[in-house]
A and B are shown apart, each in its own frame.
Chain A
Amino acid sequence: MITTVVGSYPKIPDLPAPGRWRSAKEKRERGEISPEEFLQVEREVTLEVIQEQVEAGIELITDGQIRWEDPQTYFAQGLTGFTLDGLQRWFDTNMYYRIPVAEGEVLWTDPITVEDYRFAKAHSPRPVKPVITGPYTLARLSQNRYYATFEDFVLSLALALNQELRALDAENPPLIQVDEPGILRHKADFPLFREAMITLTEGVRAPLALYTYFGDVVDLYPEILDLPFDVIGLDFVAGPRNWEALEKAPFEKWLGFGILDARNTRLESLEELVRALDRVSRYVPLDRIYLNPSAGLEFLPRNVVRAKLHRLVEAKRAVLGVGV
């Protein structure tokens, strides 16, 4: 069993500590500091959140996505063809993103996340996994004014992001994660999704993880296991019906077991996490489990995140300690 996180981490420290990122962001928006100076602050904050994950005992960490304004625009701005439009709410959260609008051909020209990955890897004592937003979710939360059909749009994005995955692959990461919460809201699109995932992952040698959250895959199960990924991440907090999915057919991959609530401050008891691990072990052997929160952690204040990550690690130790 490997403890990990799904991706994002709060960018600012607990009150009353001053939010360095916040004041730098404000200065950047007013043009008072250069992009390089802002990047420097982003990197310092990245080091801080790497440190916090490591201190909590997380074994496979991320860079905390400190440089992502949100999961949509970081990629839309890194590709050609997009402009940004009005503000929209991100799924059922109270976080917002600017709607990317495809006005031209969507092309990959330069790596988007590779520098971030290199930086995190160089400064982390633990393995780091890069994360990208998948082409389906990116397309779903964008407006398409260029491609004739939504299918064309999704598959063009898959082709573009395949380049990003190949660029990441060249860095030899232990795992590359693709986030696709969008498919859970549009399950009828699964055939298109499958095609996109095949295009996306073609030629990539690193182990791959597909993470879903904010819902369940019960209607996509077991087909979702046929997708070209080694790990499938499921959210058992917002998607309790994922338990039903596990009943339907054997889970033959690694499971990203999202059991710690990333969207509520209530701290899970050790007992409930141990019980959940015990329950999931009836479907997936514990040595094929990534134990992680239900989603990215930027929905919580940082002190809560630290307490939760400690609890997650405690749960792993408790379960393995009692010789399961």
Chain B
Amino acid sequence: MIPSYLPTTTVGSFPKPPDLLAARQKYRRGQLDREALRALERQATQEWIRRQEELGLDLLVDGEQYRADLVTFFAEELDGFRMAGLVRAFGNRYYRKPVVIAPVGRRHPLLVEWFRFAQSLTSKPVKAVLTGPYTLAEWSFNEYYPARRDLISDLARVLREEAQDLVRAGARYLQIDEPAIHSRPEEDFELARAALAHITEDLGVYTIVHICYGDVARIYPDMLRLAVDQIALALANTRFTLLEVFRTHPFTRDVGLGVIDVTRHRVETVEEVVSGIQRALEVFPPHRVHLSPDCGLRTCTMEEAVAKLEAMVEAARLVRAMVP
């Protein structure tokens, strides 16, 4: 089990080692077979499990070494998608945006094998991480479904099957990434809420929804109606100014507190992480607070990711020790 006070985790993705990045490129060009790529992905996963144990994180992830990003992987593995060209996210970062061209469906479990593999490498619990139906729909082009509502509910059905498979495989912690859930809350929040509730209903495990960036204030306190145990949020990227929003209404779920900015190369000092945690503890009920970076660490370098997590784990240790 994970410690009850200020447990530490991460949002899901870690940077890929250079040999894996090179292999992915070769694989795309047809110069490397799937098995060879898979072997490197497993090796990188093993490395990250070991590193997370060394860092002393409490709740581990598989590190998503086999995913390009949070949407592409699902679009590639599910039926009904093709990939469009590259679209810019920011700066020089581009991603391949999927297009829904047929009814979405699931041919086979997507993550069960990875979950089993990652969990077999450690005695600490591993959290399974899915991208949510609203975000998958929102961050894909849609050329097939006349009503987005139908696309979202088909995705929710497919992801519920996946979640059930993961629970059967032994997952005790399930995170659903919905970073786009608050894109247009006036029109869509109920739709997104219902889709999420469909996935988590009666799963019998600890569930988390990860929401980051965007205008979180627009769904507060509505977000407390999401059918999950924990809501994981990005705080560090706005230097904890978002905390003000949560003073307006008691936070009635566990909170995953993002205390590390993943969009900046600079590594946080332990002191500034401690100060962020302390500010947050004045707003959230302390026993409800879990610590993690703002978002996946995929876009950091390996060294940055490790150094940032060291700062977080050390800050957690210091704050825990301050409690009488």
Contact = CB atoms under 8 A, between A and B. Distances in A.
Interface stretch (B18-26, B137-145, B155-163, B312-320): B137-145
Interface string B280-303: 000000000000000000000000
B99 A94 contact: no
Interface of B: 84-92, 94, 97, 99, 138-139, 141-143, 180, 183-184, 213-214, 236-239, 241, 261, 263-264
A15 B87 CA distance: 11
B183 A92 contact: yes
A143 B241 CA distance: 10
Contact of A97 (B90, B139, B241, B264): B90
Q: Which of B90, B94, B213, B238 has the most CB of A within 10 A?
A: B90
6 contacts: A25-B92, A70-B90, A87-B213, A95-B90, A96-B213, A266-B143
A85 B242 CA distance: 14
A12 B180 contact: no
B31 to A, nearest CB: 14
Interface stretch (A47-55, A227-235, A298-306): A298-306
A272 interface: no
A22 B261 CA distance: 24
A22 B213 contact: no
B87 A301 contact: yes
Given A26-B92, A88-B213, A12 B99 contact: no
Contacts of A300: 87
Contacts of B143: 264-266
Given A14-B85, A92-B183, A86 B90 contact: no
Contact of A96 (B90, B99, B139): B90
B89 A94 contact: yes
Nearest to A185: B215
Nearest to B264: A86
Contacts of B92: 22, 25-26, 29
Given A25-B91, A301-B86, A86 B263 contact: yes
A193 to B, nearest CB: 19
B10 to A, nearest CB: 18
A89 interface: yes
Given A69-B91, A89-B213, A94 B139 contact: yes
Nearest to A101: B239
A88 B241 CA distance: 13
Contacts of A95: 88-90
B194 to A, nearest CB: 19
A87 B237 contact: yes
A304 B89 contact: no
Contacts of B142: 264, 266
B85 A302 contact: yes
Given A86-B238, A87-B263, A89-B213, A96 B141 contact: no
A121 interface: no
A90 to B, nearest CB: 9
A129 interface: no
A299 B87 contact: yes
B90 A265 contact: no
B90 to A, nearest CB: 4
Nearest to B179: A89
Contacts of A70: 90
Interface in A235-278: 264-266
Nearest to B241: A143
Contacts of B85: 14-15, 301-304
B69 to A, nearest CB: 10
Contact of A301 (B84, B139, B214, B263): B84
State the 10 A-B residue pairs at the shortest beta-carbon distance, nearest first: A301-B85, A86-B237, A96-B90, A92-B183, A87-B263, A265-B141, A266-B143, A25-B92, A89-B213, A89-B214
A86 B183 CA distance: 19
A308 interface: no
A15 B97 CA distance: 13
Nearest to B98: A265
Interface in A62-94: 69-70, 85-89, 92, 94
A12 B142 CA distance: 22
Contacts of B261: 86
B94 A12 contact: yes
Contacts of A89: 213-214
A29 to B, nearest CB: 7
Contacts of A6: none
A94 B184 CA distance: 13
A302 B142 CA distance: 17
Contact of B84 (A29, A96, A304): A304
A96 B238 contact: no
A298 B88 contact: yes
B294 to A, nearest CB: 9
Nearest to B85: A301
Given A92-B183, A265-B84, A85 B239 contact: yes
A99 interface: yes
A308 B217 CA distance: 36
Contact of B86 (A12, A92, A264): A12
Nearest to B184: A92
Contacts of A11: 88
Contacts of A96: 89-90, 213
Contacts of B141: 264-266
Contacts of B94: 12, 19, 22
Contacts of B236: 86
A179 to B, nearest CB: 18
A87 B84 contact: no
Contacts of B264: 86
